[in-house]
Structure 1
Amino acid sequence: MEITISDRAIDRINEIRKDQNIPEDAFLKVGVESGGCSGLTYNLDFNNEIAPSDSDKVFEINGLKVLIDMRSFLYLAGTELDYTEGLEGQGFHFNNPNASRTCSCGESFSI
């Protein structure tokens, strides 16, 4: 089971890529790191300098190349990345079915 990315999130990612002059062949690196008030935090970044390793999950969603290291993939399988611009805040949001607890800001979680 891979992650999914909403059309709104893809549109915003492409805007950021254009604004920051990031090459179209750069991967969107999605990951999980230790930290945050719930124990784990999400990380999004572009990667066009380091080649994926054999254990990385690499796939394409609507023309967007996505890279997830295997450790992060275990936490993120089945997750949807979305982007919202509403009263509750603007930004990327992870809808992670594996998270048993999230903090109130939605930036960290635990399993």
Structure 2
Amino acid sequence: MTSLDNPIYLRPEARQQIVDTLQANKIPAEYGLRVGIRGGGCGSSWLLGFDLPGPTDEVYNVEGVRIIIDRKHLLYVLGAEIGYETSEEARGFTVDKPVPAQ
């Protein structure tokens, strides 16, 4: 269930990939996974990356992973599900945003 205490959902494979990346690259504990939106309108895309929190950010602990979300982006990312997929063609993070019920 998504709430302001837990604004996004990490699928187990994504959580493990994030933890492995933080450890393998010796990224300091002050950093977290920034989740946001880049661009706007039809040209928007998801923003995922390791970063330090700033003055306009909210910081959450989602299943042991530090998540950073700019307050301006919170409404747009609320309920997002972050996954990690591998295939013969590619591998990487995926983001699904469920459509609200009408």
- Letter of the aligned partner of 1:81 in structure 2? I
More helix by share: 2
Gaps of 5+ in 1: 100-111
Q: Secondary structure at the match of 1:78?
A: coil
- Contact (CA 8 Å) 1:76, 1:98: kept in 2 or not? no
Give the count of matched residue pairs: 95
| TM-score, normalisation: structure 2 | 0.77
- Letter of the aligned partner of 2:73 in structure 1? S
Runs of 4+ that moved beyond 4 A: none
Q: Secondary structure at the match of 1:42?
A: strand
- Contact (CA 8 Å) 1:9, 1:92: kept in 2 or not? yes
Shift of 1:15: 1.6
Alignment-derived partner of residue 61 in structure 2? 60
Shift of 1:66: 0.6
Gaps of 5+ in 2: none
Shift of 1:44: 1.2
- CA RMSD for the aligned pairs? 2.4
| TM-score, normalisation: structure 1 | 0.72
Which of 46, 50, 54 is the aligned partner of 1:46? 50
What is the percentage of aligned positions where both structures have the same residue? 28
Which of 6, 14, 18 is the aligned partner of 2:19? 14
